[in-house]
Structure 1
Amino acid sequence: MKTTEIIISEITANSDYIKKKVQRINQYLFYFRIHQIETMAVINLTEVQVKELMDWPLVFHAVEQSLRSICKTKVSQDQPTAVQPTRIFTPTEKGTLLCMPGFIGNYKLAANQPKVYNSLGCKLVTAFVGNKDLIPPKPNIIGNIFLFNEETGELTATIQASEITGWRTAGASLVATKYLFSKRPSTPQINTVAIIGCGVQGRTHAIGLLSTNFVETIRLWNRTKSRAESLIAELMQLRQSFKNPNIKIECVSTVEECAKNADVIVTATFSSSPILFRSMIKNNVHINAVGAGVNHHTELSEDIYKDPQTKIYVDSIDNAHSELKTLDAPIVGEVGDIINAHSAPPTTGITIFHSMGMAVEDVAVAQAILEKFKIK
């Protein structure tokens, strides 16, 4: 049997070895805990946080990359890729759950940024019309975007989706306006913008267009005049942040007066019958048709669609086949094909952009917001 003195002597002789073992164990435990935090800590962002992080260059670039990614024709190695399954609707007795999954790969969050991202996510939206009658009332539409680790599938963030949905929809119109109108040799500048419908989308489009373009005049029309007047008051407060702080802002009484000589028109109403007609618009004009009518195209009259000079573009041909199937007019193509330089941009005439919304837009904007949050 070893004596106490021998045991102490052996421990002393091996103390450095034991210390190194303990250090290695502690290092292992430290890195294990860090890994646990990184993989288990899900970031949750509220609408208030998202609004504080939003800016138009961020949204514009993320949506531009999304529109590029969805195109089936690949023209370069740096072109983003996308997988966007068909939306899934799950009806219940009181409402509906809408599931919009999407993956966008090989894209950058900023033009001057070297890092390439691959983002996997899903937007879930519930529509329960009875919520407004609850005490207290709740929103009829509630949306959240879930982002996942692309390599492990682990949930990394949940982000409330109302702000993102509004901004990315307007962002798609801004991108379409740039490539379908502002790049025309004859129209380097947008002189007059017409906003027809001053609800959530009309408001966001107005702010977005004025924040990213030097516009001389903007006209607003809404069925309820007080809503247009409220938007004018808000735009007046924001005018110092616009490209043209001296912009002329007008509220008009008719759609015809609103659209007269406008270079860019936004229709953002729930109208189930035409409110904008060919006689109201000039020959060289761009229309962002984003209204949420039953058939997505009921705001514009048939004589606009049938005009020989009219060219219709969409965000996604696949989505158009299902959501614009009742539109009796040919679709020229996707805006992304023009961005990718696969198709030539229009040089004149009437262009219409139909935005139906894409999951990859939600995912790309959500990823940009998440990365900006991490830095701050």
Structure 2
Amino acid sequence: MFDYFALSEAIAEVLRARRAGRAFAPERLAVPVPGGVLLAMPAADEAVAIVKNITVHPGNREHPVIQGEVLVVAAATGRKLAVLDAKELTARRTAAVSLLAARKLAARPQGPLCVIGAGVQARTHVEAFWQGLGVRDIRLVSRTRSRAEALAAALAGEGLAVRVVGEAGEGVADASLVVTVTTSGEPVFPDAVPADVFVAAVGSFTPQAAEVPATLVRRAALFVDDLASARVEAGDFLRAGVDWATVTPLEGILDAAPRLSGPVVFKTVGHALFDLAAAKLLCL
């Protein structure tokens, strides 16, 4: 299995490098295309530079929702090191970001875990939390049960035991970890969760979309992967009308995890620095 723990550590190091002025990534360029969006994301540090180009088409059924590539070059010379599949890299580094946040913020990181969604991100998040946190009680929920059952069978082939539950409310009722990885524009589970739940909201990436109930967001401690990007794209927080002064970026808790009581919501919208971390881990 891919080493998600190592990637989570690599992401932490890149965030520290940005904080020290040694890693850089501008805000991503978004260009509308029919049915979706084209995203261009460069990033660099002292060793490696990348440009990630992807398309995101949420309505795709016969093709992947995310398609594209990541060009990796040596920062000092521009020599091409690799061209990586953006779909797989995005899936793995996103799960590693959620793993890093859960390691720092979850009150009960051993689970149970409920993953809502049955796509590529659901697979990598199950793998990451199984490997990086030792979670063994894992539930899958999908509006298309057959997709969840197919994913459960695929994971069983990797030696990972998960069970499919019919309703999100049943899946989250006693879960200490909840991960949402859908393209839904509306909340995908009820605000009926344990008091110390950790939620990683992953799937929605527009200001209009929200997977997490606004009532839960308003009473939770709030964290994001990147504050500047979240202010523009994190619909889960924007629709809840959060006070951004109360939202903490991931890089702010790397070396001193906060003492928390009550629910935690971690919103990830993605950032090229995470792709840089993955590219370095794979290519150096």
CA 1:175–1:222 in 2, change beyond 3 Å: closer, same or farther?
same
* CA distance in structure 2 between the aligned counterparts of 1:191 and 1:348, rounded to whole angstroms: 17
Q: Does 1:298 align with 2:246?
A: no
TM-score, normalised relative to structure 2 = 0.87
Q: Partner amino acid for 1:160?
A: D
Other structure's SS at 1:100 match: strand
* CA distance in structure 2 between the aligned counterparts of 1:164 and 1:365, rounded to whole angstroms: 7
Other structure's SS at 1:232 match: helix
Partner of 2:194: 282
CA 1:141–1:304 in 2, change beyond 3 Å: closer, same or farther?
closer
Partner of 1:153: 78
Partner of 1:266: 179
Deviations 1:94-141 (A, max 9, x none): 875321011234xxxxxxxxxxxx221110113578997xxxx76564
Q: Does 1:215 align with 2:135?
A: yes
Other structure's SS at 1:288 match: strand
Q: How does 1:318-329 map to 2 (within 5 A)?
A: 318-324=228-234, 326-327=238-239, 328-329=241-242
* CA distance in structure 2 between the aligned counterparts of 1:174 and 1:265, rounded to whole angstroms: 12
* CA distance in structure 2 between the aligned counterparts of 1:149 and 1:157, rounded to whole angstroms: 10
Cα pair 2:58 2:183 within 8 Å, conserved: no
Cα pair 2:110 2:134 within 8 Å, conserved: yes
Cα pair 2:28 2:39 within 8 Å, conserved: yes
Partner of 1:31: none
**Offset of residue 168 of structure 1:** 0.3
Other structure's SS at 1:306 match: helix
- Matched residue count: 279
* CA distance in structure 1 between the aligned counterparts of 2:37 and 2:64, rounded to whole angstroms: 14
**Offset of residue 317 of structure 1:** 0.8
CA 1:131–1:349 in 2, change beyond 3 Å: closer, same or farther?
closer
**Offset of residue 81 of structure 1:** 3.1
**Offset of residue 357 of structure 1:** 0.8
CA 1:140–1:230 in 2, change beyond 3 Å: closer, same or farther?
closer
* CA distance in structure 2 between the aligned counterparts of 1:345 and 1:234, rounded to whole angstroms: 37
* CA distance in structure 1 between the aligned counterparts of 2:216 and 2:252, rounded to whole angstroms: 23
Return the match for 2:226 from 299, 313, 316: 316
Between Structure 1 and Structure 2, whose CA radius of gyration is higher?
1
**Offset of residue 340 of structure 1:** 3.1
Partner of 1:26: none
Q: Does 1:358 align with 2:283?
A: no
Larger helix fraction of residues: 1
**Offset of residue 335 of structure 1:** 1.5
Cα pair 1:314 1:333 within 8 Å, conserved: yes
**Offset of residue 333 of structure 1:** 0.8
CA 1:166–1:230 in 2, change beyond 3 Å: closer, same or farther?
same
Partner of 1:20: none
Moved over 6 A (4+): 128-132
Cα pair 1:70 1:336 within 8 Å, conserved: no
Q: Partner amino acid for 2:98?
A: S
**Offset of residue 334 of structure 1:** 1.0
Q: Among the aligned pairs, what percent are the same residue?
A: 30
Q: Which runs of 5+ in 1 are unaligned?
A: 1-51, 75-79, 106-117, 372-376
TM-score, normalised relative to structure 1 = 0.67
Cα pair 2:204 2:211 within 8 Å, conserved: no
Alignment RMSD = 2.6
Q: Partner amino acid for 1:168?
A: R
Partner of 2:6: 58
**Offset of residue 92 of structure 1:** 5.4
